[in-house]
Amino acid sequence: MDTTINERRLKMFASPGVTLSVLNASGTRINTQEYGELIDFESGCWAAILGHSRSEIVQAITNNVGLLFHTHQFFDTNHPDSLVKELCNASNLSCNYKGTFLSSGSEAVSLAIMLAELITGRKRKLSFSISYLGASSDLRIPRNPEIWTDLDISDCIHCKKCLTCKECLKFEEIDFSQFAAFVFEPGNSGGLVLFAPEKLVSYLATEIRSSRGFFIASEITTGFGRTGQWFGFQHYNFFQSKTNLPDFISLGKGLGNGYPISGLLVKPDLAQFIESTGFRYVQSHSDDPLGCIITRKVIEIMVRENLIEKGNKSGEYLRRKLIEIGDQTGGIVEVRGRGMMNIAVLDKHYKAKKVFESLLKRKCFIGYSEMHNVIRFYAPLTISIEEIDVLCSSLKLILAEHVGSVIY
């Protein structure tokens, strides 16, 4: 490898300590200089839900990049409007949302919050302490306690109490009238895959709205089939009612299958009010046609190939296999997941980074957290059962042989 390749690159993330020089990628595979071809169980950065370099996506880019790449916001194309309609139809959203398209997931969440503040005149927001909402200074953890109330719900996740959340003393001091919005991130939890219970989410959403605040669904990671539904909030029965649907839905990652596009859906009555206020929000890539064209193609492929169901079934299979490996080796103490968003918590005698390194040698690329000692599997929805079997066979051998453990 050319040792000068990273001389000018500013890295602001934790490096795994091994060199990974990518040469090309296709489908579920990444070709590297050091390890050869790897099966990608991270979908790039959790975004390539259709796999890498999907031919139809490449063709859509090729066909349009020379015709319509970027425009001034004064110019109209049919693509943003058509994209909103096609997305709502595909995901069975029984509401005529309006939408706009941006560049990053963090921006989509920030804009939703900005609009909630505009309408309510309030600045404080409610969320969960486990929720990763974005990289910008207003969203990143730890959030500013002067404008954020981040609830610790560790006792709530596995709550068996017969009490309603309203009766629980944990929430009795919350003044919901101070909040512009409840920002709900349905399960990714910064890669820890922790799910708030139905009764808690429905309680908070109801209380917020009763106090004239709004419900924001942050679907940056959990949207576009990642959890086995089009959106993570759709796992909650509360949102089956048209009335209870989120006021704002922030989108990202899988939206463009890795192309940098994000989006925000807004309920029609709120959108009408926002437009009537004269509020202005423009950035260089608002509703860029190429991003919208790509996303329309992503939706077309997902619907045609029934990838939500495929990814959900593959995820169920993966979790069953991981649980079996834990029972057989003792190396996995907990498996959590929905759809193709899954983690395995390792026994304390094993180290996540060592398991990651060992799987690289066996041609599998996964995610991991040293802090929480978990290994992560956010594979493309197109991943095959055969590829999952390759991963699980390798992982079973690693754990059974104590490769990656502290005693190794």
Burial (CB < 10 A; 0-12, 13-18, 19+), residue 225, is buried
In terms of domains, do 100 and 222 share one? yes
Q: Are residues 142 and 224 in the same domain?
A: yes
CB distance 335 to 322 below 8 Å: yes
pLDDT recorded at residue 69: 87
Residue from 383, 385, 391, 387 nearest 366 by CA? 391
- Classify residue 12: in a domain, yes or no: no
In a domain, 58, yes or no: no
173's CB contacts (< 8 A; 6+ apart) are none
Domain holding 272, by residue range, is 68-304
The pLDDT value given to residue 162: 83
Q: Are 366 and 377 in contact (CB under 8 A)?
A: yes
Q: Does pLDDT of 6 surpass 90?
A: no
Give yes or no: residues 102 and 34 share one domain.
Answer: no
Per-residue confidence (pLDDT) for residue 161, from 0 to 100: 86
Order the strands of the 364-365 sheet from edge to edge. Answer: 22-26, 29-32, 36-40, 364-365
**3-class secondary structure, 151:** strand
Give me the residues paired with residue 25 across strands. 30
Q: Is residue 115 located within the same domain as residue 153? A: yes
Q: Are residues 133 and 164 in the same domain?
A: yes
Mean pLDDT of the chain: 95
Say yes or no: 125 and 219 in one domain.
yes
CB distance 52 to 44 below 8 Å: yes
Instruction: Retrieve residue 375's tokens.
Output: 């290994």
Q: What is the DSSP string of 2-33?
A: -TTTTSS----S---SS---EEEEEBTEEEET
Band the pLDDT of 356: cuts 50, 70, 90. very high
* Residue 61 placed within a domain: no
Domain match, 36 and 111 both = no
Question: How many domains, the chain?
Answer: 2
Q: What percent of the chain has pLDDT over 90?
A: 89
**Closest to 378 (Cα-Cα) out of 223, 256, 263, 251:** 223
**Half-sphere exposure of residue 342: CA atoms within 13 angstroms, side-chain side:** 28
Q: What is the pLDDT of residue 408?
A: 45
Locus of tokens 């990049």: 65
Q: Is residue 7 part of a domain?
A: no
Pairing label, strands 124-128, 179-184: parallel
d(CA 408, CA 405): 5
Residue where a domain terminates, one of 255, 287, 304:
304
Of 162-176, 219-233, 353-367, where does mean pLDDT reach its minimum?
162-176
The 3-state secondary structure of 238-266, one letter per residue: HHHCHHHCCCEEEECHHHHCCCCCEEEEE
Q: Among 384, 381, 304, which Cα is nearest to 46's?
A: 381
- 313 has pLDDT over 50: yes
Q: Is the pLDDT of residue 259 over 90?
A: yes
Distance, CA of 21 to CA of 31 (rounded, Å): 9
Structure tokens at 212: 């004239």
Q: pLDDT tens-digit profile of 159-217? A: 888 888 988 888 888 999 999 999 999 999 999 999 999 999 999 999 999 999 999 99
Of 7-16, 181-190, 302-311, which gets the smallest average pLDDT?
Answer: 7-16
Residue 363 has pLDDT above 60, yes or no: yes
Task: Indicate if 103 and 177 belong to the same structural domain.
Answer: yes
Phi, psi dihedral angles at 251 (to 5 degrees)? -125, 155
134 in a domain, yes or no?
Answer: yes
Residue that finishes a domain, picked among 259, 275, 304:
304
Contact indicator for 357, 22 with CB cutoff of 8 Å = no
Residue 167's pLDDT is 85
First to last CA, the chain: 30
- Asked if residue 156 lies in contact with residue 196, where contact means CB atoms within 8 angstroms, the answer is yes
pLDDT (0 to 100) of residue 406: 56
The DSSP 8-state label assigned to residue 52 in this structure reads B
Examine the domain organization and report whether 285 and 324 are in the same domain: no
Query: Hey, what amino acid is at 185?
Result: E
Average pLDDT (97-116) is 97
Domain shared by 298 and 311, yes or no: no
Which pLDDT score is estimated for 407? 43
Does residue 63 fall inside a structural domain? no
Which pLDDT belongs to residue 3?
Answer: 56
pLDDT value at residue 403: 57
Does 365 share its domain with 298? Answer: no
Residue 402 has pLDDT above 80, yes or no: no
Residue 363 within a domain: yes
Rounded to whole angstroms, the Cα distance separating 278 from 110 reads 19
Q: Is the pLDDT of residue 118 over 50?
A: yes
Q: What is the mean pLDDT of residues 240-269?
A: 97
Under a CB-based contact definition with an 8 Å cutoff, are residues 340 and 4 in contact?
no
Cβ atoms of residues 398 and 242 within 8 Å? no
**Among 304, 338, 363, which residue terminates a domain?**
304
Q: Tell whether 13 is covered by a domain.
A: no
Q: Residue 295: which of 39, 73, 54 has the closest Cα?
A: 54
Query: Which CATH number fits the domain that encloses residue 184?
Result: 3.40.640.10
The CATH code of the domain that includes 324 is 3.90.1150.10
Cα distances (angstroms) measured from residue 257 to each of 28, 52, 67? 12, 8, 21
Question: What whole-number distance in Å separates Cα of residue 247 and Cα of residue 217?
Answer: 8
- Model confidence over 36-56: pLDDT tens digits? 999 999 999 999 999 999 999
Reading the block at residue 341, the tokens are 């968003």
The residue to which tokens 């991003």 are assigned = 291
Q: Does 285 share its domain with 345? A: no
H or E stretch including 206?
Answer: helix 198-210
Q: Report the distance separating Cα 49 and Cα 46, nearest Å.
A: 7
